[in-house]
Amino acid sequence: MNAEGRSQLWHRIQACLNAALPDWRSTIEHFGQVAAAEQRSFGLHWSDDDVFESLLRAVLSNNTDWAKVEGVLPELREVFHGFSLSSYAGMMEEEVADRIVPWFKARRAGSMPLKRSLVGLIETARILRRWSEKNGLAEHYFTSLVEETGDPKAAVMALGSYGSPRKLPSLGIPIAAEAMRNLGYDVVKPDRHICRAAGSFGLVEFRKWPDRSGTKPPEASPEELFATMVQMERFAKELGERPTFFDNAVWLLCARMGLYLSNAELADLAAAR
């Protein structure tokens, strides 16, 4: 797809969203990630508790309908002791199982991997607490990784890839990208929705996508997840848009709380003239 084709596709994406979700720009603003990217560009720093809240929100997005999580966001500060990184680092697995997971289930905001994700987040909190004690801020774990790799996308791969010395528990590559976005880094989250959009638009060729019916995603390798981040970011920047904003717009095309377009509908959108 050439530059003109990408520009036309972006116009069609916006037209679809305008027709079906007239307030889609306000929805993206409400997500807060574009504002976070702007704040980081102005030199804002995140406290240790801000870092924990950013990671928590990312972990809660794993394998669930975000609309369900959104409904309980106002209550999370009390449930997680003011988003205290230090407090969560001292938590025992039993409290996650006996108090926190039932709380989410009672509000129908749980997910299959919720317990595993929240237990893994305890170890992540411990790693970051130790880092903060040594380096002054937990945020430095992320800023130093971006400095070392030279690229927030590469930092995402280091945070979410198995075998990486800087991997954090409970963070796979898509969730690591979500955490980085919450921390103000302007990157694309290569989740199932963005991957199937990138594939349907012809931006990334996935080797394993045996069933493209409905909204089934490809079986993306780490290399293909990275390629999705690169191609979607390139697309956004050619349009003069923030990658986070563009990503959120495409996500609304694909997710249940948005238009939930099928793979065929996404491909038709890219092929239209």
CATH number at residue 157: 1.10.340.30
Last residue of a domain, one of 182, 203, 236: 182
> Are 144 and 83 part of one and the same domain?
yes
Q: With DSSP H G I counted as helix, E B as strand and the rest as coil, what are the percentages for the chain, rounded to 5? A: 65, 0, 35
> Are 72 and 159 part of one and the same domain?
yes
> Is residue 158's pLDDT more than 80?
yes
> Are 204 and 173 part of one and the same domain?
no
Hey, is 161 helix, strand or coil?
Answer: coil
> Are 176 and 73 part of one and the same domain?
yes
pLDDT in tens, 199-226: 999 999 999 999 999 999 999 999 999 9
> Are 21 and 53 part of one and the same domain?
no
User: Which residue, among 174, 176, 164, has the nearest Cα to 195 in the 3D structure?
Assistant: 174
Q: What are 42's two structure tokens?
A: 């102005």
Say how far apart CA 54 and CA 218 lie, in whole Å. 27
Say how far apart CA 23 and CA 233 lie, in whole Å. 24
Helices 33-41 & 173-182, crossing angle to 10 degrees? 60
Say how far apart CA 11 and CA 47 lie, in whole Å. 39
> Are 84 and 104 part of one and the same domain?
yes
- Provide the number of structural domains found in the chain: 2
Query: Distance of alpha carbon 134 from its chain centroid, rounded?
Result: 28
Q: What is the mean pLDDT of the chain?
A: 95
Last residue of a domain, one of 149, 182, 215: 182
Domain that holds residue 19: 3-39+188-271
pLDDT average, residue stretch 145-167: 96
Hey, is 245 helix, strand or coil?
Answer: helix
Q: Work out the number of other CB atoms within 10 angstroms of the CB of residue 15.
A: 11
Hey, is 214 helix, strand or coil?
Answer: coil
> Are 199 and 265 part of one and the same domain?
yes
> Are 60 and 157 part of one and the same domain?
yes
> Is residue 264's pLDDT more than 90?
yes
| Residues near 104 by beta carbon (within 8 Å), at least 6 away in sequence | 72, 110, 114
pLDDT average, residue stretch 189-193: 96
Last residue of a domain, one of 113, 148, 182: 182
CA distance to 67, 72, 83, per residue, from 107 (Å):
12, 8, 19
pLDDT in tens, 103-147: 999 998 888 889 999 999 999 999 999 999 999 999 999 999 999
Output the pLDDT for position 1: 75
Output the pLDDT for position 83: 96
Q: What are 76's two structure tokens?
A: 């999370």
Output the pLDDT for position 272: 74
pLDDT bucket at 273, cuts 50 / 70 / 90: low
pLDDT in tens, 22-74: 999 999 999 999 999 999 999 999 999 999 999 999 999 987 778 888 889 99
> Are 207 and 96 part of one and the same domain?
no
pLDDT bucket at 175, cuts 50 / 70 / 90: very high
> Are 80 and 160 part of one and the same domain?
yes
Q: What are 97's two structure tokens?
A: 């199982």
> Are 82 and 150 part of one and the same domain?
yes
> Are 78 and 165 part of one and the same domain?
yes
Say how far apart CA 217 and CA 176 lie, in whole Å. 19
